[in-house]
Amino acid sequence: MAGTLTAHDRRVLMAVNAGASSLSFVGSGFIVLCYVLFKELRKFSFKLVFYLALSDMLCSFFTMVGDPSKGFFCYAQGYSAHFFCVASFLWTTTIAFTLHRTVVRHKTDVEDLEAVFHLYVWGTSLVTTVVRSFGNDHGHLGASCWTQTGRTGKAVHFITFYMPLWGAILYNGFTYFQVIRMLNNATRMAVGMSDRSYQLDARVDMKAVNRWGYYPLILIGSWAFGTINRIHDFVEPGHKIFWLSVLDVGTASLMGLFNSIAYGLNSSVRRAIYERLELFWPEKLRRWFPNNSRHRNQQQDSELVSLKIQDQQ
């Protein structure tokens, strides 16, 4: 099914966008709420996850609102969504940088770089959003506030969003590869050691390795169809592929949900939630918890929120 999108197609795309964005808004909003409510989560490593979730929440909110038939609100929505979506994938690069600097380079100064992170993320997002306005066709709105209709505008949009996006994907992939390789080497060294506690720490670290390996795939899965759709739209501007547009809108709008699950719902967050529930949960029903408190304390995952930054300082 190719050609110009019909009014029915646009309504379907808007419904898919609204539904997927709502899920991302709820998921990222939950992580933001956990950070606000649980003081034990307010470590520097999880603070970066909080900024990521906040960006995802605002990106999802502005993606949900906006009508292509209403010029001003459409432009406001498009630029706001662009700003916070760029900020979202840039925050993932700061998380990858923090992990690499802590685990691979054994540096303990990452907390001192918070101001630099803010300047880098918000400054870059602002610059790309302002530059995106160049070449935008203000006289004609397309099927979505996110996309642009003019050929120059499409090229600028690709340069200001998709090029930084794939740069972030490549950086994250390379960074996590180095982190995983170092932990694998540490694990092999631990196998030959008689220190049982060291071997246990190594096995715990490998749980985190399995999780970190999926982080770069989130951005790829969220934006691969969008990238293909932008390239196709640039090459064949008069031929829209409906099913590709559905996949584009659906996967991109779910980025916040994917991030909230992968980055936010780690062992520390689950432990904080379980501990609060146990205060109000009837004693006879506590055995239905996935893990009791003692078992969780014995098997704390070495995940993002516990980068051992605090232990090294």
pLDDT at 132: 85
Helix, strand and coil content of the chain, in percent to the nearest 5, comes to 80, 0, 20
Name the 3-class secondary structure at 313: coil
Q: Which residues of the chain have pLDDT under 50?
A: 1-2, 138-143, 198-200, 204, 292-306, 308-313
**Which residues lie across from 3 on neighbouring strands?**
240
pLDDT at 206: 57
Name the 3-class secondary structure at 309: helix
What DSSP designation does 83 have?
H
- Residue 295's contacts (CB-CB under 8 Å, 6 or more residues apart) are none
CA distance 35 to 138: 40
Distance from CA of residue 137 to its chain's centroid? 30
**133: nearest Cα among 85, 71, 78, 84:** 78
First to last CA, the chain: 59
pLDDT at 284: 56
CA distance to 102, 215, 219, 308, per residue, from 106 (Å): 5, 21, 27, 10
pTM, two decimals, is: 0.82
Q: Which long-range contacts (CB under 8 A, 24 or more apart) does 144-150 make?
A: 144/13, 144/17, 144/68, 144/249, 145/66, 145/67, 145/68, 145/74, 145/75, 145/77, 145/78, 145/81, 146/63, 146/78, 146/81, 146/82, 147/230, 147/233
pLDDT at 144: 59
CA distance 77 to 61: 9
pLDDT at 84: 96
Q: pLDDT per residue over 187-216, tens digit each?
A: 666 666 555 554 445 554 555 556 666 778
Six token digits for residue 13: 């795309």
CA distance to 47, 102, 241, 250, per residue, from 229 (Å): 34, 38, 8, 13
**96: nearest Cα among 188, 158, 31, 177:** 177
